Amino acid sequence: MLSKKAEQINAIIDELKVKRQNMENLEVRTTKVIDEIETKLLNYLQNSKNLPSVATVTPITESLTALYKTNLDANSQVIRSMEKEIELLAKHGPDDNGDMPSTLSFEVLSELFQQSRNRQLVEDDEEDN
């Protein structure tokens, strides 16, 4: 039977897996939309006899910019999640002989999670400036 801490850790890991999958899905969905909009915009521009007005193209380019940012943010979050997973495995996973270097306790996981949140807050502040 798992301890209460182990159950909490497993619940957090399950939540993180779902969130990472959602971010991966978001990245795929935005990529599809970006590709469609880019294709239609390029076709429109190539088939135009005159240069289209800025008022016509601006909402499309602004939407594309927002989609690019959403896509990059989702991709960045997925990469960060994978990096953290690799870091945890390297630090707390079994070695080639199957020996555990140290146990991954709830306290250690909470500390790593808090460090990750603090790092994200700092990165968000830097982006805002």
Give the integer Cα–Cα distance in Å for 118 and 64. 30
- Single-letter amino acid, residue 33: V
Q: What is the pTM of this model?
A: 0.57
Domain range list for the chain: 4-128
Q: What is the pLDDT along the chain (129 residues), one digit of tens a residue?
A: 567 777 777 788 888 888 888 888 988 999 999 999 999 988 888 888 888 888 888 888 899 999 999 999 988 888 888 888 777 777 766 666 666 555 666 676 777 777 777 766 666 666 665
Give the integer Cα–Cα distance in Å for 5 and 39. 51
pLDDT at 104: 60
HSE-CB of 79 using CA atoms within 13 angstroms? 7
